[in-house]
Structure 1
């Protein structure tokens, strides 16, 4: 059985140790490393190639939002689940816009934590119930806006969006569309600007919301 490789990122060493102890009981999970800030997390991800990162939001040196955003560029296949004490709207949406696929509070149960990690490894989202209600409210608000951006997306950008929605990397998209990675990056940048998003995950969510994919 191939276990899900997990990296724990938090600036509190006792919390990291506690998480490692809790997760080590699950035979499907393997904690491959720890980091105390965003910079350490990026270096650890490059070295250890985890499947899922449990990311705190408020940390020194480089916070969780910035680290998640950079990780989406460097290793888009690595999924981030936010694990934090903050549940205010601004922090929630910053984390999700940066590319996190899950959001849990630190008082979540062991079962919720395991479920969130498994969902993330499958490329699915998992949100704390209180967070999910806020996201639904925000999506309802966004649906009320005109979808003018959808008329600006070109046919080729739509192709790229479809692959983004499947979690494909730039290299995989380039191979599928018979173009260079540089061309894909240009399309992704253009898509971000047109849809008003800052991450691949948010682009896919926005495209689905607009009925583009």
Structure 2
């Protein structure tokens, strides 16, 4: 996604966004909890010091979103993201970390994270990103966008240490064949989005689960810099994928 996400704050009468915070550093975790709890429309319902605790708290509290650090003991953020995506697909995962290297970014997005911020983000941007993520939008820090494009773009160096993304059918993406590192399956779904299909119709047409379609669409938005389906449709038309 490019540009700033929508403004934070729940509309009048709208329930507060229920959030879990997971970070192994107590001072950071407690600071995030306090900071978010002071914002209107945000209700921090739990916190965790490692990935396993995060899974337990999410299972107990059923939040709308989780703010997740990557480098934690017991179970790291990438594996935690995989487990959350599989067991709690409706929970929006927003990564907040110090690291923006290509391996961390790609593995986290592939695991199912919806948004990726670095820890220099301010509290309003974090809150806005949590709201955007629960609405199905992908928000990436500008540094993360640059890293993602460098790692997945057609001109990425073959010895960069980043493996081509595997297609869900087991077929790796062919560098240069599709723009911005899109896999064949992602391009197929993007074409259906451009043709006006909704998630349920795409799932039916491609014999996929609804959760799988949502995960693909999040990755498509991240790779193409699209904040919504209209932007993705424009991208598809610009690249002849409609």
- Residue 92 of structure 2 is matched in structure 1 by 79
**Higher-helix-fraction structure:** 1
Asked whether the 8 Å contact 2:138–2:221 carries over to 1, the reply is no
Aligned to 2:117: 104
**Equivalent position of 1:5 in the other structure:** 18
Which secondary structure state, in structure 2, belongs to the residue aligned with residue 80 of structure 1? Answer: strand
Q: How far 1:145 moved relative to its partner? A: 2.6
1:52 to 65, 75, 78: 65
Is this contact kept in 1: 2:94–2:117, CA < 8 A? yes
- Find the aligned partners of 1:167 and 1:36 in 2 and give their Cα distance: 38
How large is the Cα RMSD of the aligned pairs?
Answer: 3.5
Deviating above 4 A after TM superposition, structure 1's stretches of 4 or more consecutive aligned residues are 203-213
Residue equivalent to 1:40: 53
Alpha-carbon distance in structure 1 between the residues aligned to 2:198 and 2:21? 22
Q: CA deviation at 1:136?
A: 2.8
Partner Cα separation in structure 2 for residue 60 and residue 77 of structure 1: 25
Check conservation: 2:70, 2:97, Cα contact below 8 A. yes
Shift of 1:96: 1.2
For residues 198 and 32 of structure 2, the distance between their equivalents in structure 1, rounded to whole angstroms, comes to 27
1:22 aligns with 2:35: yes
Query: Using the alignment, how far apart are the partners of 1:205 and 1:143 within structure 2?
Result: 18
CA distance in 2, matches of 1:48, 1:212: 41
Q: How many residue pairs align between the two structures?
A: 185
Deviations 1:166-188 (A, max 9, x none): 996xxxx59x84xxxxx756xx5
Query: What TM-score does the superposition give when structure 2 sets the normalisation length?
Result: 0.64
Determine the structure 1 residue equivalent to 2:177: 146
1:8–1:34 CA contact under 8 A, matched in 2: yes
Match of 2:82 in 1: 69
Mapped to 1, the partners of 2:198 and 2:38 lie a distance apart of 29
Provide the secondary structure at the position in 2 that maps to 1:31.
strand
Q: Deviations over 1:24-56 (max 9, x none)?
A: 111111101001111111111111111111010
Kindly provide the CA deviation profile for residues 112-136 of structure 1, in whole angstroms up to 9, marking residues without a partner as x.
1112111111111111111112223
* Aligned residue number for residue 9 of structure 2: none
- Corresponding residue of 2:142: 129
Does structure 2 conserve the Cα–Cα contact (< 8 Å) formed by 1:123 and 1:167?
A: no
- TM-score where L is the length of structure 1: 0.72
Change (3 A) 1:137 1:30: same
